[in-house]
Amino acid sequence: MSTSADAAGRSPRAPERGMDPRAARSRAAALAAAQELLVEQGWAAVTHVAVAARSGVGRTTLYRHWPDSPSLIYEAIAQRIASARPARTGKLRDDLIAQLNGLRALLHDPVGERGMRVVIERAGVDPAFAELKESLYQAGSGGFRVIIERAKESGELPGGLDTELAIDQLAGPLMFHRLLAERTFGAEYVHSVVDAFLAANLPRRKG
Amino acid sequence: MSTSADAAGRSPRAPERGMDPRAARSRAAALAAAQELLVEQGWAAVTHVAVAARSGVGRTTLYRHWPDSPSLIYEAIAQRIASARPARTGKLRDDLIAQLNGLRALLHDPVGERGMRVVIERAGVDPAFAELKESLYQAGSGGFRVIIERAKESGELPGGLDTELAIDQLAGPLMFHRLLAERTFGAEYVHSVVDAFLAANLPRRKG
């Protein structure tokens, strides 16, 4: 699928280079309609017929951009959850908080939240979504991986720390809180998760 | 929906009281077929037509038990992820490990894992699934809540500890590791999660 680059970091809503403005407008209108349907009724409602009816874009045009329904849903999600890359300060706590705030923003954006739910479900039964989920997971976890590995090298975190477990401990609580407990949360919640992680993992200093 | 009692703890596969054996067999065969379809192809494939074809149970019988497709999927999931209630020892670490091992088992059972993914996705767009997810969340988190509240009362955990955050910190990593990172894990992983939680939260002793 050619759109996976989106999930790997292309800025959202960027029209394809060289696309004529009318085609770019149709494409944007179609994706916006697909996102609305996704949020309102779930992925099964995102069909070419329904997107054409809501966006006013002809079905022939839709089929030219997206030959099947999964590719349309895929791009509607990927466009919105293209991962933000927060600037790094080199301070462990600040960088972890900035990275987790990206996940917080995603989980509180209607399309982002629904997109996460859809990829979690569809990944097991549809290879295109498995690819999207993997690409999102790599983009999302990659930021944490860089921060944690650097802190291990500098001695801020213990060299023996399991980086994958650390990512689970940072991102897992946010996912659980939003997608299972169905609660919203603010910046203080993110601070609590990071501080608990640091309390468990900072090297103990004697005396 | 009358089946939510399943999720609240009724033992799985128990036939309804007073149901004649032939009806109970049909019901069990239909639910097994629904579970297979769910694992192989996702919830959208669990239709009365497909379940009848696979189980050999007549469609009229299926409609009598489950008037619509969501109620059939609901029970296929609820039957398998009825929460186990591990015996408690009164020892904080052991009880947290036992409770998390129940979630680990669920996430490594094919129907349980798929069921979790389905309720996470469907809960936002179908009230029946929102109810199922809520009932599963309450049953699952309820065990942690009892253990943590008791440890707060006894002073083993700080009285000011946020119980909901604690549940997120315990269950969240497992969910993330299995449903996002798509990795399996064993008992040692559960121990690491519990020990990190305790390291972050046990009251510091002076001296």
C-beta atoms of A180 and B40 within 8 A:
no
Higher pLDDT, B62 or A125: B62
Write the pLDDT tens digit of every residue in A10-42. 334 445 567 789 889 999 999 999 999 999 988
Contacts of A114 in chain B (CB under 8 A): 124
Is pLDDT above 60 for A66?
yes
**Burial bucket for residue A148 (CB in 10 Å: 0-12, 13-18, 19+):** buried
Helices (H), B86-184: 92-108, 110-122, 127-154, 163-175
C-beta atoms of B124 and A192 within 8 A:
no
Nearest to B173 among A117, A141, A168 (CB): A168
DSSP at A45: G
Contacts of B142 in chain A (CB under 8 A): none
Which pLDDT belongs to residue B205? 57
Q: Is residue B169 within 8 Å of residue A169, measured between CB atoms?
A: yes
Residue in chain B closest to A204 (alpha carbons) equals B199
Contacts of B174 in chain A (CB under 8 A): 168, 172
Q: What is the CA radius of gyration of chain B?
A: 19
Nearest to A125 among B42, B133, B197 (CB): B42
CA distance A103 to B79: 33
Nearest to B118 among A121, A162, A181 (CB): A121
Strand (E) or helix (H) holding B76: helix B69-80
Percent pLDDT > 90 in chain A is 59
Q: How many CB atoms lie within 10 A of CB B57?
A: 21
Is pLDDT above 80 for B204?
no
CA dihedral of residues B193, B197, B199, B201 (deg, nearest 10): 180
Which pLDDT belongs to residue B12? 41
Contacts of B173 in chain A (CB under 8 A): 165, 168-169, 172-173
Q: What confidence tier does A207 reach under pLDDT thresholds 50, 70, 90?
A: very low
Cα A2–Cα A79–Cα A165 angle in degrees, nearest 5: 90
DSSP at B87: P
CA A22 to chain centre: 28
Distance from CA of B123 to the nearest CA of A (A): 9
**Half-sphere CA count of B86, side-chain side, radius 13 A:** 21
C-beta atoms of A175 and B173 within 8 A:
no
Q: What confidence tier does A191 reach under pLDDT thresholds 50, 70, 90?
A: very high
| CATH dotted code for A84-201 | 1.10.357.10
Is pLDDT above 70 for A107?
yes
Q: Is residue B73 within 8 Å of residue B48, measured between CB atoms?
A: no
Q: Which residue has the tokens 């019901």?
A: B27
Beta-carbon contacts of residue B24 (< 8 Å; ≥ 6 apart): B15, B16
The ipTM is: 0.84
Q: Is residue B113 within 8 Å of residue B35, measured between CB atoms?
A: no
* Amino acid letter, A116: M
| CATH dotted code for B85-201 | 1.10.357.10
Write the pLDDT tens digit of every residue in B73-101. 888 888 877 656 778 899 999 999 999 99
**Burial bucket for residue A201 (CB in 10 Å: 0-12, 13-18, 19+):** buried
C-beta atoms of A133 and B180 within 8 A:
yes
* pLDDT (average), residues A162-168: 96
* Amino acid letter, A166: A
| CATH dotted code for B4-79 | 1.10.357.10
What ranges do the domains of chain A cover?
A: 4-79, 84-201
CA dihedral of residues A9, A11, A14, A19 (deg, nearest 10): -30
Contacts of A173 in chain B (CB under 8 A): 165, 168-169, 172-173
Q: What confidence tier does A43 reach under pLDDT thresholds 50, 70, 90?
A: confident
Q: Is residue B102 within 8 Å of residue B167, measured between CB atoms?
A: no
DSSP at B12: T
Q: Do the domains B4-79 and B85-201 sit in the same CATH topology, yes or no?
A: yes
Q: What confidence tier does A84 reach under pLDDT thresholds 50, 70, 90?
A: low
Which pLDDT belongs to residue B132? 82
Contacts of A201 in chain B (CB under 8 A): 196, 199
Nearest to B172 among A44, A123, A176 (CB): A176
Q: How many CB atoms lie within 10 A of CB B78?
A: 24
Is pLDDT above 60 for A116?
yes
Is pLDDT above 70 for A189?
yes
Which stretch of B1-15, B30-44, B185-199 has the lowest confidence by average pLDDT? B1-15
